[in-house]
Structure 1
Amino acid sequence: MQPFYWQSQYGNFGDDLNLWLWDHLLPGFRDVHPDVLLVGVGTVLDRALLPSGIRKLVVGSGFGYGTLPDMSDGDEWDVRCVRGPLTAQAAGLPLERGIVDPAVMVADMPEFRNIEKKHRKSFVPHWESAVAGLWPAICETVGLNYIDPRGEAGEVIREIAASEMVVAESMHGAILADAFRIPWVAVTTSRSINSFKWRDWASTLGVSYHPRQVPVSSRAEAIIKGARFWGVDFRENVPARSEVRRSDLGDIAVLDREPRQTTLRTAAKHALAAPSTLALWQASRATPQMSGDALLTERKERFAAELERVRRDYL
């Protein structure tokens, strides 16, 4: 059995954690049933993404992009649970099959326990924002620790766990913060952020998704997201999430993970990002939220029970 996940060419920790999470949740799964695909963390219940003609075991995946595949064929689909009730409803499943995002189980892994707090507040952008935005410099300006979602998944998660509060544009930034019992504030920079998947997860834990609006920070970011930037509209010809390339950004440089030497041009870019800076500063001072301990525990117990049934049937 092999895990399936959506792979960003830039990296995205919320998807990449599938590479090792299932070895913890279902030890030995790789050694059995080579004809079965394990479909786990991510918004991957999309007809265009999942291969046909192979049996798929769905454990906690979500819908939110493209067209939902027909999962009625029991020979090809074994749907144990999905991310939340919105996915369950869309798929014609009983609402109780929408349990929770499997990423909440990461907090129980030994390597992520008892991590020392070293950041008062951190910001985890969406991966598209990280590709083309000025967010590292903006975070430095407003006193936030910047967490790049394109980093190695384990290290990103440790940085989240080491924070006392998280501002999250990345949904899995919020999911992991909540799992580690860290208060969080949701933000969004454009209409390209998928609210369906956020609400799908949030409804399982009794929290809400009412993100604070933060303007895009650069022209390159506006191009990727189909947003407006200083009166220029880039809302046409937005590339699909699987098709974002450096060539889509024209002659605007994609930020490297290490800041470059300040120049007149970069200073001008930072000046243009002033609305983004102010909005992110305000978000970092907003009242955060977090799910209740009892509800999170109940959802994790239900998910663990599904895992036990999978072990019994497959391992």
Structure 2
Amino acid sequence: MCPACPHERCSLVAEVDVRGVSVVHWNPQRAVTRFGVRIGRRPVDNFGDLIGPFLVDRLVDRQARATRSGLRLLTVGSIMRLAEPGDSVWGTGVNGKSLGADVAFGPGELDVRAVRGPLTQQFLERRGVAAPSVFGDPGLLVADLFDRDEIRERRGIADVTIVPNLHDFAHTRRSHREALDPRSPLVECIERIASSRLVVGSSLHGIVVAEAFGIPARLVQPGTEPSFKYDDYYRGTGRDGYTPAADVAQAVALGGEPPLEWDPAPLRAAFPHDLWQPEVTR
């Protein structure tokens, strides 16, 4: 919990400044211990939650600056609970764990450009916040920034990459030592996924990044995560149904889900470039 505020949500908020706009994402600080003694804190750095600031940094011109101070933008992740009045939203979703939680914003208090899927849209509309039918997780745009063929030529191709959700990693690693640690560096995670023939696991962004590169992917039933964010993602990419596997072996046997039926152009066009303006030089 944030020591300056009684609200648990404050301990979850991380912000990266991108040319004067704060890009909000989930990256809580966790205690670090050595020999049973707490020696400090460090961020979780779950790769899927780092995609938002990474992507925004590359979409905004290096010479641009925020149109005014105090602007905040929410992008990748199930972080709608972290939104505050006046925030802009591009491709954000809701976490099934927080469906009944209080939110800080009221009717008409968010500038929503796109959401992850129709379930998030409905969540907002029930609270009086207009949300356009522009759907998609912005993580689907990472393939705009990486050359899959170049990555595969440099790294080789793996038959299967297992990408567990952060909360499933320890359990998955016991039986699959080769599983990708979702706290590995962001570019390493993206490149390992891009150099795979099949991606399986409970990480939503393992699925998202794989499908961004046109790689078949199959969800493994998560151990702790509600289905809401997965339902939202699949419906937002044109698929009303999907079939999670019970375990990794079944996921490999099933292969990937049907490819997404989704046009990235509306999500690209919805990016809030108007939060920035060219820097005026004198």
* TM-score normalised over the length of structure 1: 0.67
Equivalent residue number for residue 163 of structure 2? 124
Q: Would the aligned equivalents of 1:85 and 1:95 in 2 still touch at CA under 8 Å?
A: no
- Which residue of the other structure, out of 44, 66, 73, is the alignment partner of 1:38? 73
AA of the residue aligned to 2:212: A
1:254 aligned partner? none
Q: Which amino acid aligns with 1:147?
A: L
Unaligned 5+ residue runs, structure 2?
1-20, 31-43, 278-282
Query: Which structure has the highest helix share of the two?
Result: 1
* CA shift in 2, pair 1:204/1:38, >3 Å: same
Q: Does the aligned pair in 2 maintain the 1:122–1:165 contact within 8 Å?
A: yes
Residue number among 190, 196, 203 corresponding to 2:235 in the alignment: 203
Offset at residue 78 of structure 1 (A): 1.2
1:89 aligns to what?
A: 122
Q: Give yes or no for contact 1:182–1:290 (8 Å, CA) kept in 2.
A: no
Match for residue 166 of structure 1?
199
**Conserved 8 A contact 2:136-2:236:** yes
In structure 2, the partner of 1:264 is none
State the number of aligned residues: 232
Cα distance between partner residues in 2 of 1:167 and 1:96: 31
Question: In structure 1, what is the equivalent of residue 26 of structure 2?
Answer: 6
Identify the match of residue 311 of structure 1 among 269, 273, 277.
273
- 1:19 counterpart = 2:56: no
1:102 to 132, 138, 141: 138
Point out the structure with the larger strand share: 2
Larger deviation, residues 34-43 vs 65-74: 65-74
Q: Is the 8 A contact 1:139 1:146 kept in 2?
A: yes
Alignment CA distance shift 1:112-1:288 (3 Å)? closer
| Alignment partner, residue 175 of structure 2 | 138
Q: After superposition, what is the alpha-carbon deviation per residue over 1:112-157, rounded to whole angstroms, capped at 9, x for unaligned? A: 5632142001100010122x32x345225xxxx4211111111101
Q: Please give the alpha-carbon distance, in whole angstroms, between the structure 1 residues aligned to 2:72 and 2:92.
A: 13
Give the CA deviation at 1:45.
0.7
Q: Which letter does structure 1 place at the counterpart of 2:235?
A: S
Please list, as runs of the form range in 1=range in 2, the aligned pairs for 1:216-235 lying within 5 A after superposition: none
Identity within the alignment, %: 28
- Residues 1:149 and 1:290: Cα distance change in structure 2 (over 3 Å): farther
Displacement of 1:188 after TM fit?
A: 1.6
Q: Deviations over 1:267-294 (max 9, x none)?
A: xxxxxxxxxxxxx2232222321424xx
Q: Report if aligned partners of 2:164, 2:181 keep a CA contact under 8 Å in 1.
A: yes
User: What RMSD, in angstroms, separates the aligned Cα atoms of the two structures?
Assistant: 2.4
Cα distance per residue 1:186-214 (max 9 Å; x no partner): 11242x21211111110122333321223
